[in-house]
A and B are shown apart, each in its own frame.
Chain A
Amino acid sequence: MTSDALLNEGHDKPIVCGGCELLCEDLTTQSIESGTRCALADNWFAHGELQPESMIDGKNAPLTKAIDMAAQRLLSSRRPLITGLVSTTIDTIQIACTLAERIHAAIDANASETSILTAPPAIRVGDVTADFEELRDRADLAIFWGCDPIADSPRFIERFIQPVPHNGVRRTISIGPTPALPPSSHDLHFPVAGNQLVSLARIVQAQVEQKATNRPSGALESIADQLKKSIDTAHCIGLISTITEQTGLVSWSLSHLIRSLAHQKPCFGIRLNAGTTAGGGNCAGASTVCTWRFGSPGAIPYASIKGSAFFPAEADVQRLIERNEVDCMLIIGRMPSRIKDLLTTSTNPKAVVHVSDTFPFLQRKNSIQLGCASLSHSTEGGMLRSDGRLISLQPFATSQQPSIQKVLNGLLDQVAVETRRRSTP
């Protein structure tokens, strides 16, 4: 039954899960209460009942006072960084970008594309992609390229691979250490080590372009031959991958292969981000807003509305923290596990201002927590799925806490007041 039907019949409200970049919009309050069968979704909805207190250095404080102190610390900072973002809505990210401009902050949403050493393949090769539903409805061959969608986006296969495409039957091929689906006559698995994915893509591309390869025939060539045969018989091909390796070479080689195939027949790439480490489902929204505001998707060392430099693998969250190039962090939304780990292991403690509905990070000193309404239960706005589709969130529970947008707007106002105060002799 569709979400609309459920609404019409008055059974339950359709609810969007922001736990990963699938932004599943077919959940209901009923399914949330009884368990969603998705660990990321269960984790996303686990914090709905909290009424987070605002705190300054580990002590409870009124929100207004905490906002006032947060503005002072951000403006006193020599090198502030704004991050988080991916568990919040697009309008929240817009406010965050305005804050970044006002306090001259670095900004990075902790998305994998900004930590790639060789910059996103879109710059060097391009990117041929499609909406997930195009994969679901059109692709009669889905190739999982070195990825594990079960771990990264648990419901991807259920929602976009298992439904029957319009032209009848879908075959799948898993390339990598583990199969995406249990092997069968329609679901093949070719075990390929992670360090061979680039070579395999290059061999298949050469075959597609009918160019000779100088490599001796071996196991990889045999797999390439079988892949090529499957590709030849397919009408529309979707290649699914996850950005996990920081060299960017797998993405680079795959983008080349997809491009060659797409010249000959309908073919597109589907890129999933690793939901478990990203900390929320709106990586694409954060990248998109940062791009229209600053010209770069993240890894921005200094936010400027006129256009900012893009330093992938240099001004991303991980590198900035590791190199101790930030002294104050404004974390907006839920704390991604990766950032928590980085802060925990950092040799040089940073001041932290965290705006969220939950505070798992237990730093006491130099820490301000600004509590807001539940991001999963009480938020209204839009998020972008990783294929770029806008998904609307509607609140399904009331909260006595202010919304995250309201808290951030309060911080923005206070930054303006404090800036004026400091510039007045």
Chain B
Amino acid sequence: MTDVSPHSSLSPFHEPFVLAGGTIHDPKNGLDGIVTDIWVESGRIVCSPSNIKRFRHIDATGLIVMPGGIDLHSHVAGPKVNTGRLMSPQLGTHCRSHNQPSAIPTIHSTGSLYASLGYTTVFDAAIATGAASLAAMELNDLPILDKGFYLLAADNTELLDALEAGQPDVIERCISSIVRTGSGWGVKVANPGGAAFWKDSRGDHHDLDTPLPGRTLTSRTILERLALGVQAAALPHPLHIHTSHLGLPGNWRTLFETMQTLDGVPAHLAHVQFHSYTGGDLDPDSFGSGVSKLVDCFHENKNLTLDVGQILFGDTVAMTGDPEAAEHLAHTTGVPWSAHDLWLEGGCGVLPIEYKEKNLIHSWQWAIGLEWFLSVNDPWRVVLSTDHPNGAHFTAYPILMQLLGDEAFRRDAFRRIHPAVQKHSPLASLSREYSIQELCIITRAAPAKIAGLPQKGHLGVGADADITLYRPNHQLAEMFAMPAAVYKSGRLVNENGHCRCLPAGQHLRALHAQ
């Protein structure tokens, strides 16, 4: 079914080697800081060989060894990313302070910067079916990383017709056809049915049970039937859901209803931080955290996983396949706003945004994201993300890891945000610290499992030799920002922040073309 055969990442262009004496973090195989050797040959991790002389010895003593990172939800390619690049030259390499990378790096820089953090796989979370071929061409220019994308199939008119008819076998065939033709890895729904409302009448913040214009179908039935269809099509990744009302006060109810609607069917909830707000209808004064109302429901529904979409303070660019949400934000803030309506599909919205520490709403968003991370009791169901670039640039991941793993660091940051949030946020009472093993889970093992990549996210025999070596450091941001070495399919691609080679990664496709 999947295109990732046991030998799909084989790379003969490196000599066999052994990483000797490293401290292994491999949650899937139960290794939590165990000192052992990792043997690598032809792009894969292999058993301890009988003839060890063929293997070059690489001393990893004192280093932390993890699988390569996997970003389950990012925006790295496609027309909306390019629009973001065009819209934000002021955030480009040449003008940005502190030598930060561009908010939307070039496709080449995207690959090399991810690799410089120890990441080796990335998924773009929103590609329109009509833009899939172009996105594939762009991703072909993305070096080092293995990459895939989720198709915004639920905006496709043909699939909407099938969902309305409600025949499961037709829906399954339609999903399979779209994913196969579009070379996608999964199916994403962004504001189910929202594009239809957007095209018909602006600013209609519909609820889950309002029929789409000209149809009997509702957002809720789209979610129900689509999740079942994706399950029936046996795609490696369950339905990837960006539910309705992103960014609006009081939207925790929509996320709550979405979780209940799925009723046991596997699904992944994207950037939940943006969907966890209390407050009245468009009332910023009553804005607050809805995480406590949601987290129990999430714990009960074991069929669900989530990524957080943490925001971090600074300049970035927001981009979404939910044009209604983008328009709302652009109109509220007055910043430049780009949108495009696609024929027989949905659309997208792109705008620059600056998250400010002293802004009440932004402070809440920051605290709500961290509250989600620290409230979910099973790290295997959580994925670290900033919804790059929406919440923050992916190069800020090391800071986020320190916020999760270092309570003192988090408290320092907490003291700088808006005082009203300091006073009311439940984050004030959360003292949990993520261990190195847990950070490894939410950046490697869990996203591999959730994405449906059995050969990634671990260091067991047969796994892709995507390996990152870190120098232990109590300053977790420093540790995760500068790996000692990064291997992709057994090839050294980055060493102490220096790019060593730029192999082409593979395009991960869920279904074979016929």
Contacts and interface: CB of A to CB of B under 8 A. Distances in A.
Interface of A: 90-91, 94, 119-120, 122-134, 137-138, 259, 262-266, 268, 288, 291-297, 305-307, 309-310, 382, 384, 388-390
Given A306-B109, A388-B79, A126 B338 contact: yes
B89 A123 contact: yes
B200 interface: yes
Nearest to A296: B89
B31 interface: no
B141 A293 contact: yes
Interface stretch (B43-51, B132-140, B396-404): B132-140
A96 B87 CA distance: 24
Contacts of A138: 199
A91 B137 contact: yes
A396 B26 CA distance: 55
A122 B338 contact: yes
Q: Ordered nearest first, which 3 A-B pairs have the shortest CB separation?
A: A133-B343, A130-B341, A305-B108
Contact of A384 (B134, B342, B350): B134
Interface residues of B, number: 49
5 contacts: A122-B87, A129-B338, A268-B341, A291-B82, A292-B85
B337 A128 contact: yes
**Residue from the set B77, B138, B201 with the largest chain A CB neighbour count within 10 Å:** B138
Nearest to B88: A123
Given A124-B336, A126-B330, A384-B134, A295 B93 contact: yes
Given A292-B85, A296-B89, A307 B341 contact: no
B102 A307 contact: yes
B421 interface: no
Given A292-B77, A293-B141, A129 B339 contact: yes
A223 B131 CA distance: 39
A382 B92 contact: no
B319 to A, nearest CB: 12
B113 to A, nearest CB: 10
B238 interface: no
A389 B203 CA distance: 26
Given A138-B199, A390-B134, A291 B86 contact: yes
Contacts of A296: 85-86, 89
A126 B351 contact: yes
B102 A295 contact: yes
Q: Which of A266, A292, A389 has the most C-beta atoms of chain B within 10 angstroms of its own C-beta? A: A292
A119 B83 CA distance: 14
A131 B87 contact: no
Nearest to A127: B338
Given A130-B340, A259-B337, A307 B105 contact: yes
Nearest to B94: A309
Given A295-B92, A390-B134, A262 B202 contact: yes
A263 B79 CA distance: 22
Contacts of B131: 388, 390
B21 interface: no
A266 B343 CA distance: 14
Given A128-B338, A291-B86, 13 more contacts: A129-B338, A133-B343, A262-B339, A265-B202, A288-B79, A294-B106, A295-B85, A295-B102, A295-B105, A296-B85, A307-B109, A310-B89, A388-B79
Nearest to B331: A263
B343 A134 contact: yes
Contacts of A262: 202, 327, 339
Contacts of A134: 199, 341-343
A292 B134 CA distance: 11
A265 B336 contact: no
Given A122-B338, A131-B343, A94 B141 contact: yes
A17 to B, nearest CB: 19
B166 interface: no
A126 B337 contact: yes
Contact of B86 (A120, A125, A131, A309): A120
A392 B222 CA distance: 32
Nearest to A132: B343
B336 A266 contact: no
B232 interface: no
Interface string B86-106: 111110111000000010111
B130 interface: yes
B436 interface: no
Contact of B134 (A132, A265, A288, A307): A288
A130 B94 CA distance: 31
Interface in B66-125: 77, 79, 81-83, 85-90, 92-94, 102, 104-109
